[in-house]
């Protein structure tokens, strides 16, 4: 049994960080052409009754009264209205709706063409300065210009007035200069129109943004706020090896117009769906969430399962239904194990979608993508059954719903905080579901990753960019989870388990860094972990 597990798990996730594509030359910043009439978003229609006039008005801040800001034009929900998001959260998670008053609110509408290769949209963002200092600029990522596509932005406005903008870093960043500094607690409405061309070949960062084989994978397809933290604005482009997003928890209202024959999987929950001629109009609410993702295809079939208050949806090609069903079984077990060990899964929906991504899997809030190559349960990759890959990938990506989505981190500069911990969580899954032999097998796969770079004692706490070639996989996916287990041994397993549970109480929907992680761990073990972190984590 042990040997079987060792052999079958040994090669796990070899592909996860090893298949980056040749860099694509930066795309030009498109001139401000109006969206094609074929994909012009239809004007939003009212999606809810007008706000209840008897409901409590928003409390004006000293700096800027909400009532002075332009009203939403894309949705009838008010900027502060959290009710649309209630359906997406389990009962015990719903109090968060009253606890993130400064979270960005995205109102996003877009229409996709029949070929699923271009879209045009409008965005309004209700932005609050949550920092301790005035801000004189705001930055948005234009990720399609990094990921092999092409994004153009026009008609950028601040509180309805034309804004001063500049494109930076090969058109991957939009800088907006504020007319007056935005004081802490102050709010502005930023609006813009955008067009996006979707690549038809898998581009960089594992082909996460592409339409291939009639499957549209829309990663980071809209202008997305950058994060400001104690180091300033984070606008540096992501490495090709890792994840590209570092984002604050936000609220998304999204209205998508798609061809009528496609099935869409997204972050959040669907509030409305109606058909007009050969188009369908879909309204979604997602939040708190760090991103909004969509995958869509006319080839998708859906199988579902309910776990507690959460519906699991597995989208795959019709001929791969066995794989889609296996994914449901694995995800249900992972949600139960992680819900017990860490914190309840907060959303009422978790979607797992199969796409042609070149990674084994990629995580997003409330949804993740597995590569469709591993859905044929009769197949294998270099002798390792697809079923093994499908289970371990599903478990790893499910773990990111806790390590990345619920507790966020800077995925570019401290990737160990989500990847190494997701690997450790995968080990816990094998331990809890199958026992120590299976867990040992997975553990040896982690050792093997580190072995492949000769067990180099390279710190795990560095940015993605600092790990050339196989080092990223060997250190972040191999040595990293070995450190977490060493940490658990050092603290004592009971103290460590308590620490992880408290981690999700202390930092839920926030962003944690290495020092925050260490400090909370030290509180739980009543010990000084500096020496241990110097041996494994710190650069010096």
Residue 465 CB, nearest approach to Zn ion (Å): 17
Q: Least distance (Å) from Zn ion to the CB of residue 396?
A: 6
Q: Give the whole-angstrom CA distance, residue 72 versus residue 45.
A: 13
Total Cβ atoms within 10 A of residue 390: 25
Instruction: Give start and end residues of each alpha helix (H) in 171-296.
Output: 204-207
| Site pattern 415..434 for Zn ion (x: CB under 5 A) | ----x--x------------
Choices 281-289, 374-382, 412-420, 445-453; region in contact with Zn ion by CB under 5 A: 412-420
Q: Between 127 and 206, whose beta carbon lies closer to Zn ion?
A: 206
Q: How far is the CB of 415 from Zn ion (least distance, A)?
A: 9
* Residue closer to Zn ion, measured from CB, 173 or 388: 388
Angle at which helices 480-491 and 514-525 pack, to 10 degrees?
30
Instruction: Give the residue from 264, 254, 321 showing the smallest Cα distance to 298.
Output: 264
Whether a cis peptide bond, with omega within 30° of 0, leads into 268 is no
In 3-state terms, what secondary structure has residue 402?
coil
User: CA torsion, points 22, 26, 30, 35, in degrees to nearest 10?
Assistant: 30
The DSSP annotation for 34-52 comes to: PPPGGGPPPPPPP-SPPPP
Structure tokens at 179: 């007319």
Shortest Cβ distance from residue 467 to Zn ion (Å)?
A: 14
How many residues of this chain bind Zn ion (CB under 5 A)?
2
Residue 408 CA from chain centroid, whole number: 9
Min separation Cβ 18 and Zn ion, Å: 13
Which residue's CB is nearer to Zn ion, number 85 or number 503? 503
Closest CB to Zn ion among residues 128, 241: 241
**For Zn ion, which is the closer residue by CB, 372 or 422?**
422
Pairwise CA distance, residues 62 & 43, whole Å: 35
In this chain, which stretch among 67-75, 413-421, 441-449, 500-508 interacts with Zn ion, using CB under 5 A?
413-421
Min separation Cβ 116 and Zn ion, Å: 26
Between 282 and 353, CB nearer to Zn ion:
353
Least gap, CB of 175 to Zn ion (angstroms): 30
Residue 131 near residue 184, CB atoms below 8 Å: yes
Q: Map the footprint of Zn ion across residues 229-258, applying CB under 5 A.
A: none
134-to-101, 114, 128, 228, 232 alpha-carbon distances in Å: 18, 44, 11, 11, 12
Residue 515: CB minimum distance to Zn ion, A: 22
Shortest distance (Å) from residue 242 CB to Zn ion: 9
- Contact stretch for Zn ion (CB under 5 A) within 170-178, 414-422, 461-469, 482-490: 414-422
User: Do residues 206 and 359 make contact, with C-beta atoms less than 8 angstroms apart?
Assistant: yes
- Taking Cα atoms as reference points, which of 240, 218, 210, 237 lies closest to residue 226? 237
Residues in 69-128 that interact with Zn ion by CB under 5 A: none
User: 82 or 400: whose CB is closer to Zn ion?
Assistant: 400
- Closer residue to Zn ion, CB minimum distance, 240 or 419: 419
How far from 266 is each of 333, 369, 405, 443, 482, CA to CA, in Å? 22, 11, 15, 33, 33
**Which of 109, 407 has the CB closer to Zn ion?**
407
Output the smallest distance, CB 412 to Zn ion, in A: 14
DSSP E strands, 54-149: 105-112, 118-128, 135-141
Which residue number, 290 or 524, has a Cβ lying nearer to Zn ion?
A: 290
Task: State the Cα–Cα distance between residues 249 and 101, nearest whole angstrom.
Answer: 11
Q: Scanning the structure block, which residue is given the tokens 């609050």?
A: 128
Handedness of CA 247, 243, 122, 107 (dihedral sign): negative
Residues that bind Zn ion (CB under 5 A): 419, 422
């Amino acid at each position: 049994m042990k040997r079987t597990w060792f052999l079958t798990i040994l090669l796990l996730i070899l592909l996860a960080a090893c298949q980056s594509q040749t860099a694509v030359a930066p795309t030009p910043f498109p001139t401000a052409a109006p969206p094609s009439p074929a994909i012009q978003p239809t004007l939003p229609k009212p999606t809810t009754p007008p706000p209840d006039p008897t409901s409590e008005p928003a409390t004006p801040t000293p700096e800027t009264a909400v009532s002075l800001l332009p009203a939403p034009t894309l949705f009838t929900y008010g900027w502060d209205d959290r009710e649309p998001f209630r359906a997406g959260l389990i009962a015990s998670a719903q109090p968060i709706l009253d606890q993130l008053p400064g979270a960005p609110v995205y109102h996003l509408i877009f229409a996709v063409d029949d070929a699923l290769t271009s879209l045009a949209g409008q965005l309004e963002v209700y932005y609050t300065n949550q920092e301790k200092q005035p801000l004189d600029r705001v930055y948005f990522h234009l990720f399609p210009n990094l990921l092999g596509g092409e994004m153009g932005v026009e008609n950028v406005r601040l509180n309805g007035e034309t804004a001063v903008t500049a494109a930076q870093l090969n058109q991957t960043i939009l800088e907006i200069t504020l007319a007056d500094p935005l004081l802490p607690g102050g709010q502005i409405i930023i609006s813009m129109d955008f067009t996006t061309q979707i690549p038809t070949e898998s581009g960089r960062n594992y082909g996460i943004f592409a339409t291939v084989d009639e499957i549209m994978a829309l990663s980071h397809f809209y202008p997305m706020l950058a994060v400001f933290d104690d180091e300033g604005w984070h606008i540096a482009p992501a490495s090709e090896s890792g994840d590209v997003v570092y984002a604050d928890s936000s609220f998304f209202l999204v209205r998508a117009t798609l061809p009528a024959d496609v099935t869409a999987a997204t972050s959040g929950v669907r509030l409305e769906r109606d058909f007009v001629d050969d188009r369908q109009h879909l309204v979604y609410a997602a939040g708190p969430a760090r991103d909004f993702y969509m995958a869509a295809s006319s080839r998708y079939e859906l199988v579902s399962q309910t776990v507690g208050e959460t519906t699991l949806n597995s989208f795959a090609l019709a001929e791969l239904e066995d794989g889609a069903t296996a994914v449901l079984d694995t995800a249900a077990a992972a949600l139960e194990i992680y819900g017990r060990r860490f914190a309840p899964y907060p959303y009422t929906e978790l979607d797992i979608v199969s796409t042609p991504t070149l990674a084994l899997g990629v995580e997003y809030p409330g949804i993740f993508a597995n590569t469709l190559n591993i859905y044929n349960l009769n197949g294998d990759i270099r002798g390792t059954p697809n079923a093994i890959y499908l289970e371990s990938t599903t478990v790893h990506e499910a773990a990111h719903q806790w390590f990345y989505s619920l507790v966020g981190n800077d995925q570019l500069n401290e990737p160990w905080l989500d990847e190494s911990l997701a690997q450790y969580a995968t080990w816990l899954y094998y331990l809890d579901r199958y026992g120590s032999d299976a867990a040992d097998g997975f553990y040896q796969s982690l050792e093997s990753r580190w072995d492949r770079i000769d067990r180099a004692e390279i710190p795990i706490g560095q940015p993605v960019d600092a790990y050339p070639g196989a080092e990223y996989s060997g250190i972040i996916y191999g040595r990293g989870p070995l450190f977490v287990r060493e940490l658990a041994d050092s603290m004592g397993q009971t103290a460590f388990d308590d620490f992880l549970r408290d981690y999700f109480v202390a930092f839920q929907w926030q962003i944690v860094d290495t020092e925050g992680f260490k400090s909370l761990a030290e509180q739980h073990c009543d010990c000084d972990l500096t020496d241990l972190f110097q041996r494994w984590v710190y650069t010096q």
